[in-house]
Structure 1
Amino acid sequence: MAGDRMACEGLVIVACCKEKAVTSAPVPALDLYQGWVVPLVKDRVTRSSAHRSRVLVLSALHGLITADTLISTYEQPMTAERAAIVRRRAPGRLATHLARHPAREALLLMEPDYVEALGPLPLPVTHVITDPMARHDDIHAVLTSWSWP
């Protein structure tokens, strides 16, 4: 079915944020982050593991991780040193993810320093929103065009 095919072609990469749940044990990354635009993304994928598997988080500490990677509360800003480490590791992690979950389009929800740390994506279409708190309608429009819930 065409709608199912389109639903499988998107990839969301959202940057981490300062607002995190305080945990005594590791939790899935998408559940750890409580602020910024993460709740919007989480609300769109909560009822669909197929869509949740198409969400990655770009963490200043952990680099590019899946929504369900178990992590604990931490504090690490995106410094120049961390960005250099992320930039070296992200392409391999992205290639591994795309081998399991092919995508034609990506939606990046992150500030410019995170976009730079991530580097270019090997996809035909990349939507970059560096001010997602002011552009919820644009985010919803992209996700809806992919037939995401």
Structure 2
Amino acid sequence: MTPPVPVERGLIIAGCSRRKKPTEKPIPALDLYEGGCIPGLRDRLGDDTRFRQRIRIISALYGLLHADSPVLNYDRRLTNLADADALRQHVAPHLNDQLGAVTHVLALVEPLYLFALEPVVHRLDAIRLYWIAAPRDWHRAAAVLDTWGWT
């Protein structure tokens, strides 16, 4: 049996979703998004601040968001490589700063968003990356979290 992944050693990066809660005031990112794997993450880990601190959401508009980053509803999609490259340049310095002791990353992102997560890919010698390219595939994501011991 694989030993559990300590909370401070894991990081979850989920892609934003088109479906969002209607709101006229900023709310935490993890609470805003209604599509993809976000509802599953929120249901499974959202009530525990230790785990919330280990969740990031990559947004086509805002870049890398902490689960509790306050955001407004918006409509912006990542549709081409040029936009993904611009997002990568914006996200990379922030992500690099957050990877310190991380040994496991679960990336629940479509391919263009993975391109923006270049710092993780450059550290594959030290980080075990679990990439799920179909963010709606919550069952696969949950299975990874099961192996980490994150419940």
Tell me the TM-score normalized by structure 2: 0.86
Identity rate, percent: 33
One-letter amino acid of the counterpart of residue 142, structure 1: V
Partner of 1:8, secondary structure, is: helix
Q: Give 1:67's aligned residue.
A: 67
Point out where structure 1 has 5 or more consecutive residues left out of the alignment: none
| Mapped contact 2:95–2:119 kept (Cα < 8 A) | no
Q: How does 1:40-79 map to 2 (within 5 A)?
A: 40-79=40-79
1:110 equivalent in structure 2: 109
Contact 2:92 2:116 in 1 (8 A): no
Note the alpha carbon deviations across 1:56-85, whole angstroms, 9 max, x for none. 001000111111111100000114343222
Deviation at 1:120, TM superposition (A): 4.3
Taking structure 1 as the reference length, the TM-score comes to 0.87
Please name the residue that 2:147 is paired with. Answer: 145
Q: Is the 8 A contact 2:14 2:107 kept in 1?
A: yes
Figure out how many residues of one structure are paired with residues of the other and give that number: 144
Matched residues in 1 for 2:140 and 2:22: separation? 31
Whole-angstrom distance in 2 between the partners of 1:130 and 1:38: 14
CA offsets 1:18-65 (integer angstroms, 9 cap, x no match): 001111110111111011211011112122101011000010001111
- Across the aligned residues of Structure 1 and Structure 2, the Cα RMSD in angstroms comes to 1.8
Aligned residues of 1:32 and 1:71 also touching (Cα < 8 A): yes
